[in-house]
Chains A and B, each alone.
Chain A
Amino acid sequence: MELTGAEIVVRCLAEEGVEYVFGYPGGAVLNIYDEIFKQDKFKHVLVRHEQGAVHAADGYARATGRVGVALVTSGPGVTNAVTGIATAYMDSIPMVVITGQVPTAAIGLDAFQEVDTVGITRPCVKHNFLVKDVRDLAVTIKKAFHIAATGRPGPVVVDIPKDVTMHTAEFAYPAGVEMRSYNPVLKGHAGQIKKALQMVLGARRPLLYTGGGVVLGNAAEALRELARLLNFPVTSTLMGLGGYPATDRQFLGMLGMHGTYEANLSMQHCDVLVAIGARFDDRVIGNPAHFAREQRKIIHIDVDPSSISKRVKVDVPIVGDVKAVLEEMLRQIKAGRERPDQEALTAWWTQIELWRAKDCLRYNRQSPIIKPQYVVEKLWEVTGGEAYVTSDVGQHQMWAAQYYRFNEPRRWINSGGLGTMGVGLPYAMGVQLAHPAAQVACITGEGSIQMNIQELSTCKEFNLPLKIILLNNRYLGMVRQWQEFFYKERYAESYMGSLPDFVKLAEAYGHVGMTIEKPEDVERALREAFAMKDRLVFMNFITDQEENVFPMVPGGKGITEMILAEEL
């Protein structure tokens, strides 16, 4: 039977098992929306701004590992979506974004609401398509899902001109995809794995440096097993948190610019570094020349060859899927009798414990003003460490990462690569829809929350009982911190002279609002909020205005050249 392009789009999404489409209608996608109206295979979530749609689809993808789907109209719909697409791209999140386009005959004529979507999004997508013939539509959508989800995941844009949604074609959804130009390598090279294992078993001061790839590749279990079998210390990037249980003795905390003392010193002084789905970001290795001062052998497991030896030269590259490679390593270690030198390891652990004893995340628990760290610690307690926590970007993000100890993957949802303020609330929407019964908290700042505050209205419509934890320091705190340290306290435009009454604002959107001003009220308020299982509660914590994030590696410095709290 012949179907219209719009019918085909909807049928394809149903075939892919899509649960939610996050979107916003407009002229170019009216035919698709008409078909959405007629079906009941998936639900559509009408957001209040296209950026929110893409972030919500992204949050859904991060929390489930499935492909997130967003749908926007041409022109301004697309430009509003770009920040969301770039955010997902930088963190390798699988997503398909369907965009309306002006009719094929109008393309290139500066038609109403025309933008060159493929051109604008090209640098921030894994791939994109412009579908000019309705007969290519189904296979293109199939390819889009395939490309988004496999290898190094990423967002794929499918741009569909309006006339294509009206034309008809025979519909058959392809069972699989064969692409001669796209075949990611998943199984690690046997010879390389062997070489890596020799290094691992010969290590005296080893470190497992894990990243987002462990989460994206669902390799948390294999990682745990490997780390425990070898008794190796583990550190993680911001994006890998939860990939290894944070409360485990072998976990050294996050490394990098705001990493722990023990993690950064271990990174600098290890003799064998195993990078697992982590890409040696500049926020992680600091000054590369300083990092290179110490000799160490580096093994790097990554599915994307271009992540390897990009910023740091490695000794044993292993291109492949983290889980497949770790499982193969485990198999081989278990099959052999060789184990790392226990004496050397004991000495290394003794050194690490000395570093750990510095207790670098200490803060003033006696403060009469609410400390942001305290709120996060209490949140951890109240939620039993089991909440899904989304965050925005700024100091509050770092405190969330440092003090909410994630024990499971996909619980920590934030924007690391692009660092997009405004993701927190839409991320939480995507997460809560994916896990309706779960506790979902959004840790945010008064700057960030205002960047997508309109989505409070979507939350009301879909009854999403999120808990918004606003660490309100009345400053663009992360900016203020840099200005304090590096610009002689010239606080240029990091203070907003006016802020809304957040309680009234929450109420105006139909939610519950609370302001908490004293440390002794923090825990009770959190318990009260989480007890309201069917309400969104907006908690406005008035926190210490001048609290800073420690440790901190200043720009251009080596990762061991940290500013610690006690030094000030």
Chain B
Amino acid sequence: MKSRRHIISVLMENEAGALSRVAGLFSARGYNIESLTVAPTEDATLSRMTIVTTGSEEVVEQIVKQLNKLIDVVKVLDLSDGHHIERELMLVKVRAGGKDREEMKRMADIFRGRIIDVTDKTYTIELTGTGSKLDAFLEAIDAAVILETVRTGASGIGRGERVLKL
């Protein structure tokens, strides 16, 4: 039983406690959870959640079924079943004084990042992309200059006509 990474989209009622039902489900059943993002959709009564998890086909089948079983959940889609796009946002605060300053600007450009906050000694760089692109950026720069990172976890959407809607 090979374990694989899955990205699962969940459309659910925007109700108090809905998030804890999902989080509780994953911990109670021992499912792995790599990241989880959630926010209301264009229809304020619905929230959309993106969960990244790893597991064998059997486990992921159970995860999808168990999510569907939650009363607040309206629809579940395993995006990894088809073509999809994934994006994650990362903010990185780096030391950017002296010789580092030019180098950091150059690296941000290469990765199509934007510098969104500047002081004499620091830059804050905003970067979006797949998780692996963000990882690559962190690897590309000198670990010693990183002051702080914050990542949102992945959001995902199906390609082309593939939509998750009521």
Contact = CB atoms under 8 A, between A and B. Distances in A.
A127 B71 contact: yes
Q: Is the interface of B mostly helix, strand, loop or mixed?
A: helix
A123 B24 contact: yes
Interface stretch (B11-19, B92-100, B101-109, B129-137): B11-19
Interface residues of A, number: 18
B74 interface: yes
Interface stretch (B58-66, B81-89, B119-127, B148-156): B58-66
Kindly state the interface size class of chain B when it binds its partner: 20 to 34
A182 B68 contact: no
A190 to B, nearest CB: 21
A306 B62 contact: yes
Contacts of B21: 122
A130 B21 CA distance: 14
A304 B13 contact: no
Nearest to A127: B71
B162 to A, nearest CB: 21
A305 B61 CA distance: 10
B15 to A, nearest CB: 9
Contact of A123 (B16, B28, B71): B28
Nearest to A147: B71
Given A122-B21, A122-B24, A181-B12, A310 B62 contact: yes
B71 A119 contact: no
A305 B65 contact: yes
A180 interface: yes
A118 interface: yes
Interface string B50-81: 00000000100110011011011110000000
B71 A126 contact: yes
Given A119-B20, A122-B20, A123-B24, A304 B71 contact: no
A277 B17 CA distance: 31
B166 A304 contact: no
Name the residue among A126, A147, A305 with the largest chain B CB count within 10 angstroms. A305
Contact of B68 (A123, A130, A305, A310): A305
Interface of B: 12-13, 16-17, 20-21, 24, 28, 58, 61-62, 65-66, 68-69, 71-74, 166
Q: Which 4 A-B pairs have the closest CB atoms?
A: A306-B65, A127-B71, A181-B74, A305-B65
Interface of A: 118-119, 122-123, 126-127, 130, 147, 179-182, 304-306, 309-310, 313
Given A122-B21, A181-B13, A181-B74, 14 more contacts: A118-B17, A123-B24, A126-B71, A130-B16, A147-B71, A179-B71, A180-B166, A181-B12, A181-B71, A181-B73, A305-B65, A306-B62, A306-B69, A309-B58
